[in-house]
Structure 1
Amino acid sequence: MGTVFSFDVRGGEPGAVRAALEAAVAALHRADGLFSTYRDDSQVSRLARGELTVQECDPEVAEVLELGARAERESDGWFSTSYRGALDPTGIVKGWAAERAARLLRAAGATGVNVNGGGDVQVLGVPGAHRPWRVGVADPLRPGGLAAVISAAGADHLAVATSGTAERGDHIVDPRTGRSAVTDLVAVTVVAPSLTWADCWATAAFAMGSRAGLRWLESLPDVEALLITAGDEVRCTDGLASRLG
């Protein structure tokens, strides 16, 4: 998946949690093997070349493509599992894989789980008594600075995902044109219960631009967002303030 994953795991029976952590890491490596567009032998690469059908792939491939199709429908086409005309579910795989890894650890008895995949974060439970998880959002215009701190207080599960140009340049494509999205935004951060969807919605909203993206994000249930324009203007959904901390 072309990025680094980190884990912060609290509580639970040590043996069970250790086994679950090993299983979670193995699942991430497996996801990379299935979905990497950088590997010619991955199932997604072979599927894109017509060497496999979806039915011949492992079940995870069909699962992710179905989720991607749902994201495309719900975003009116602004999210896509294609990149410049070729199959590429990268925009959903990282969030899906990180969320799945976090849930493996929680199911094993961990009382607090934080999985960070390249800056996108899924948290479950709590890190300690009366202490919520807090996630810093990097300021895309001020390297080393924070644009906001998101608190998971009162939520058993929360995800924070950011799409933008600060680290990877113009990598987000406008699905209507197949070219780099022309937008006034430099970053969109989405806060939602699920990292799978937070990651998709951040990408889709970035491609829409600040005004259309904000209106659309406001319409989604259980979703808050922070949008930052190239002109250093900050726009937020109405309920984001309740998540700042």
Structure 2
Amino acid sequence: MDVKTHKKDTAALGDTHAEAQSSEERAKARGYLTAPFWAVLLAVAAAAGAALLIGRWASHSRPANVETRSWKAMGTIVSISLCETDGDRQEALFEQVVQRVGHIEEILSAHMPTSELGRLNRLPPGQKMRLSRELWNAVNIGKNWNGKTHGAFDITAAPLIDLWKTAGKVQKVPTAAEIQKTLDRMGVDKLALDDSDWTVMKTAAVSIDLGGLGKGFVADDIAGLLKERGTTSALIAMSGDIRALGRHPDGRPWRVGIQDPRRPDELGPVVTVVEVSDMAVSTSGNYRRFVEIDGRHYSHIVDPRSGRTAENVPSVSVIGPDALTTDILGTALSVMGVDDGLKLVESMAGVEALFIMLDDSGLLILTRSSGFARYEASTAGMRDNPGVTGG
């Protein structure tokens, strides 16, 4: 697995030259490369359908032993920042995390023919398959969220995702008949799960895609692993999903900037900045990843109810207790839209959301859930960005 290491600016961190050189030499000895921390997170954001930016709003007094590793996995860039006083322990933790992510990818990936999910997707209807704890939990959670979101989140939407990818390649919007035929091949009710022996049986030929929850699932798993090892401060970034473990090493909450969706290729300005500790932030949107047909952009997020692409919300950011919840809700709320999405969020304890829309003149319209504002660091980002309106 190709893994890169990213160490924060040694001058800002207060490292001595010898300490910095020693750390870099250790990283290179393991085949890692060095690069600025902010560049990693910008790359993470670019791989998402939206952007969560970290580091620009960080304190200038950073501990000298904060290091970041990044590598490609789960179809994106995984980035982990750790603060440990023992360099050898820090290296060991990084290696354990890389191995753990690789293990889960071999279970949940829909793009690896040899993955456990790949084998499940090839399972004929009527036959049972015993699943690993990880896959059984992911499928079970995904199935349950289908009901919670009134069908807006559907792990059996794999054929619909493929339909729109093909549409982009052939430059032709799917017909109503093609969409209906695809919808007929979907449905979580076609999955029979048995928690007594961790088995699943398909009652019809359905195909599962866990892309709407996989990154959040992995981020939480990493956080759990690090917590078990005694780590109290870490930041995990996977595509548009951020999981904060504890607080920033300088004692404050972790700060996450939510990017202006009109400027997807820039580092800023941000729409707002949120502060979280032991929580997660996920952003989903249609302004970075899309299918283009005859010059028109169609969101990469599909609506499993209608079979169309989800065009309601350019960007939605969710704050919640864990990355699995925020990852799933980011997708679901993009499909549901502001009105129905807000109703869902307001019915859930510990979850807040920010919907970002565009009016006809190109101004941003911000709609917050009732408790979102208490996580915002300030409105500085909005003051620097005059094209923002709403409350």
TM-score, length-scaled by structure 1: 0.91
Q: Residue 41 of structure 1 aligns with which residue?
A: 114
> Which amino acid is 1:216 matched to?
L
Distance 1:161 1:103 in 2: 18
3-state SS of paired residue (1:134): strand
Structure 2 residue 181 is matched with structure 1 residue 181: no
After superposition, give the CA deviation of every residue in 1:105-135 in whole Å (9 maximum; x if it has no partner).
Answer: 1221222110000131000112224322111
- Whole-angstrom CA distance in 2 between matches of 1:9 and 1:79: 33
Aligned to 1:150: 274
Q: 1:54 to 1:168 in 2, by over 3 A?
A: farther
CA separation in 2, counterparts of 1:117 and 1:45?
Answer: 22
Q: Are residues 1:163 and 2:284 paired? A: yes
Counterpart Cα distance in 2 of 1:68 and 1:98 = 16
Whole-Å separation in 2 of the counterparts to 1:241 and 1:168: 28
8 Å contact from structure 1 (residues 136, 148) kept in 2: yes
1:56 paired residue number: 130
In 1, Cα distance between equivalents of 2:128 and 2:368? 39
Kindly report which structure 2 residues correspond to 1:10-49, keeping only aligned pairs within 5 A, or say none. 10-11=83-84, 13-49=86-122
> 1:209 aligns to what SS in structure 2?
helix
Contact between 2:240 and 2:284, CA under 8 Å: does it hold in 1? Answer: no
1:68 — aligned with what? 142
Query: Which of 349, 354, 362 lines up with 1:226 in the alignment?
Result: 354
The secondary structure found in structure 1 opposite 2:279 is strand
Question: Is the partner of 1:188 in helix, strand or coil?
Answer: strand
- Give the equivalent residue in structure 1 for 2:239: 118
Query: Does residue 9 of structure 1 match 2:82?
Result: yes
> Are the equivalent residues in 2 in contact too, given 1:11–1:109 (CA < 8 A)?
no
Report if aligned partners of 2:286, 2:311 keep a CA contact under 8 Å in 1: no
- Alignment-mate amino acid for residue 134 of structure 1: R
Secondary structure of the residue aligned to 2:348 is coil
Residues in 2 aligned to 1:163 and 1:82: alpha-carbon distance in whole angstroms? 19
Deviations 1:112-163 (A, max 9, x none): 11000013100011222432211111221123221211102xx4x1100011
Query: Structure 1: how far apart are the matches of 2:115 and 2:259?
Result: 32
Tell me the secondary structure at the aligned position of residue 121 of structure 1. Answer: strand
- Of residues 61-70 and 122-131 in structure 1, the stretch that sits farther from structure 2 once superposed is 122-131
Higher mean displacement: 7-16 or 38-47: 7-16
Q: Give the C-alpha shift of residue 229 in structure 1.
A: 1.2
Superposition CA RMSD, Å: 1.9
- Does residue 221 of structure 2 align to residue 100 of structure 1? yes
Identity of aligned residues (%): 32
CA distance in 1, matches of 2:227, 2:348: 26
Look up the match of 1:127.
248
How far apart are 1:41 and its partner, in Å? 2.0
Q: Residue 19 of structure 1: CA displacement?
A: 2.6
Q: SS state of the match for residue 37, structure 1?
A: coil
Q: Point out where structure 2 has 5 or more consecutive residues left out of the alignment.
A: 1-73, 161-185, 187-206, 291-298, 378-391
- Which AA in structure 1 matches 2:272? A
Distance in structure 2 (CA, Å) of the matches to 1:51 and 1:33: 21
Q: 2:272·2:376 contact (CA, 8 Å) conserved in 1?
A: yes
Q: Is this contact kept in 2: 1:174–1:207, CA < 8 A?
A: yes
